[in-house]
């Protein structure tokens, strides 16, 4: 019995698949390195955006407190307030200025509440969505790693295929053997025919 003729073909096919898979794997490793770089940039951008929002909140709150403090100063140094503090029979002295102070304080506090509440939540939501979109786009660029695919199998020979070369060789030998005379070389005519002519 001879060796399987499909063995060499299977080895070549496996070599091609190994080479292609290695190439795809190296290509994916390069994409993965780029993905990590951009992911780190996105994380840095996220922290910076959140820090900017936090800094802006503190700035608005600080300015609001400063405006409130100045409004109170203006109220306490106003003429109506000074006159009311000096005493007298009037029960409405400085009332309008005081109501104005309360209105300004309420407006400032409302602004601060909005900054700490709804405005801050909206800003943070926008930042998170921006980050998630960038992460999704970066992941889409990365793609999926290469797959090896189905394994390469060597095609096996049937019993008939294994013995066919031997049978073919035996048949060839048998056909050659039929051309040799079976009666021996005792006959002169047969001998002459074999040697291709007359001797002497």
Residue 200's pLDDT band (cuts 50, 70, 90): very low
The tens digit of pLDDT for each residue in 86-110 reads 555 556 666 788 888 889 899 999 9
Q: How much is the pTM? A: 0.56
Handedness of CA 50, 53, 59, 60 (dihedral sign): negative
Average pLDDT for residues 30-39, to the nearest whole number? 91
| Residue in this structure with the two tokens 């996220």, named with its chain if needed | 46
Domain spans, the chain? 22-142
Determine how many CB atoms are found less than 10 A away from the CB of residue 5: 11
- Total H helices, total E strands in the chain: 6, 0
**How far is it, in rounded angstroms, from Cα 81 to Cα 95?**
8
Note every long-range contact of 123-127, with CB atoms under 8 Å and residues 24 or more positions apart, other chains counting.
123/53, 124/50, 124/53, 127/46, 127/49, 127/50, 127/53
Q: Where does residue 143 fall: left (phi above 0), alpha (psi -120 to 50 degrees), or beta otherwise?
A: left
Q: Which position has the higher pLDDT, 38 or 8?
A: 38
The tens digit of pLDDT for each residue in 45-83 reads 999 999 999 999 999 999 999 999 988 888 877 766 666
Within 8 A by CB and 6+ apart from 173, the residues are none
CA angle 113, 126, 63 (to 5 degrees): 35
């Amino acid at each position: 019995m001879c060796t399987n003729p499909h063995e060499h073909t299977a080895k070549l096919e496996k070599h091609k698949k190994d080479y292609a898979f290695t190439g795809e794997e190296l290509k994916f490793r390069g994409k993965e390195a780029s993905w990590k770089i951009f992911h780190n940039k996105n994380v840095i951008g996220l922290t910076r955006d959140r820090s900017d929002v936090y800094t802006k909140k503190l700035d608005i709150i600080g300015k609001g407190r400063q405006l409130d403090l100045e409004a109170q100063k203006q109220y306490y140094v106003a003429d109506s307030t000074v006159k009311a503090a000096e005493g007298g029979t009037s029960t409405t002295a400085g009332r309008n200025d005081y109501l104005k102070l309360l209105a300004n304080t309420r407006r400032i506090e409302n602004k601060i509440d909005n900054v700490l509440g709804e405005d801050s939540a909206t800003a943070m939501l926008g930042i998170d969505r921006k980050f998630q979109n960038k992460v999704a786009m970066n992941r889409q660029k990365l793609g999926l790693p290469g797959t090896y695919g189905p394994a390469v199998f060597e095609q096996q020979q049937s019993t008939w295929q294994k013995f066919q070369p031997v049978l073919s060789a035996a048949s060839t030998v048998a056909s050659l053997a039929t051309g040799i005379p079976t009666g021996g070389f005792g006959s002169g005519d047969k001998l002459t025919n074999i040697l291709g002519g007359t001797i002497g």
